[in-house]
Structure 1
Amino acid sequence: MKSKQLYPEASLALSAKRSSLAPEIAEAFRNFSQAVFKEGALPEKTKQLIAVAVAHVTQCPYCIRSHTAQAIRKGATQHEIIEAVWIAAEMQAGGAVSHSKLAIDEMESLEEA
């Protein structure tokens, strides 16, 4: 019996299997992804750095590896990648702090009751 891993290694075989199970959707997603990461108002390197940051917030290990590699291929430095990661960390922490207003609002409404 094959051992199950939390995050199986990405492979062409797994990608082909996923595509074969929903070929039209897989093709649409590939086209969408290519359009999103194509040079536009933002340079490709910047788009990949944004993707690195978002991948850390969504905590997708496949995305972290893939977009880090793509960012390097597009000319990003290790320092730029780590700064993107720190921006992601600050934004995620900042969201928790700013949402504390909901807890404070609830506590205040319970005091009034």
Structure 2
Amino acid sequence: MSEGPRVELCRRAMVELVFLVAHQRNARGRQRRDWTLLWALIRDGLSAGASPEEFQDGPWQVAQRPLARPGRNGLRFIPLAVRGSTEILLTTAREAEELVGFLNWCGAPEFGSR
């Protein structure tokens, strides 16, 4: 993918991620949002060369937050994408790996602290 479309793809995804991080930081009850556009952009990036395996070594890292009892999908942890004080909670470990690969491919900055 040439630099122009890559930059535009990353820019659009960053806008969605800002809303995602804000939503997670100011969660109201168990309200969930539909992030279909964000995941479509991430899939476009992954198909354009942002291989999760190649981009795991970077400022964004996959992490886990342990749970006292099984949560979504029966997991005993919440998969995270982490950089500095920014934590993005995800549903599956695979989503965390894909998001981390995409964020490192884009050179995404930290989204600030709470």
TM-score range, shorter chain: 0.3 to 0.5
Q: Report which structure shows greater RCO (CA 8 Å, sep ≥6).
A: 2
TM-score normalised to the size of structure 2?
0.34
Which structure is higher in strand share?
2
Greater gyration radius: 1
